Amino acid sequence: MRYSVKFILGIVAFAFSLSAFDATPVLADGHMMVIKERKALMKKVVKATRIIKKYKKGKASDGEAIVAAKALRKAINSSIDKRLYPIGSTRPDVSAKKTRAKANILSEWEAFVEAGKKSVKLATKFIEGAKAGQGQAKFACGGCHKPYRGKKVR
């Protein structure tokens, strides 16, 4: 087979570009995608929690609170997926400005999952109470934040 000079030069240029390529930014970008996914889930949690707080103050209906608690429950269930916490995607491996997730999530995975499951159970009890017309059904969250979430850095 005969190859044109342009084809051979193209192959050589491609091979050279691969050898000069640094894979570190790709890994960082991969972690950034996971971090963005975690942040999106936490935004859903925050939004739902705000509606629940309004409900507790009498400023949201039972229906709104139930929908919010179901969304909260779904987001929490999704957030306790180990694929969202690959090694190197938590503090201190990633800048504190980019993530608040602490590294002990991985070393204490079972406790982290249990804290999430506890919040899911509380949300389920809240939904049941709101459906039963108990106007100020109780719900509290935060079992994950104190041990597994770092302070906000600007």
Instruction: Give the pLDDT confidence of 84-125 residue by residue, as tens digits.
Output: 999 999 999 999 999 999 999 999 999 999 999 999 999 999
Name the residue ranges covered by the structural domains of the chain: 26-148
What SS3 state is found at 31?
helix
Of 74, 86, 69, 82, nearest to 41 by C-alpha is 74
Per-residue pLDDT 10s for the chain (154 aa) are 566 666 555 565 555 555 444 443 434 567 899 999 999 999 999 999 999 999 988 899 999 999 999 999 999 999 999 999 999 999 999 999 999 999 999 999 999 999 999 999 999 999 998 888 776 667 777 788 889 999 999 8
Q: How far is 24 from 98, CA to CA, in rounded Å?
A: 17
The neighbouring-strand residues paired with 74 are: none
Tokens, residue 84: 């969202």
Question: What integer pLDDT is reported at residue 112 of this predicted model?
Answer: 96
26-148: CATH, from 1.20.120.10, 1.10.3720.10, 3.50.50.60, 2.40.30.10:
1.20.120.10
pTM comes to 0.76
Tokens found for residue 92: 């201190």
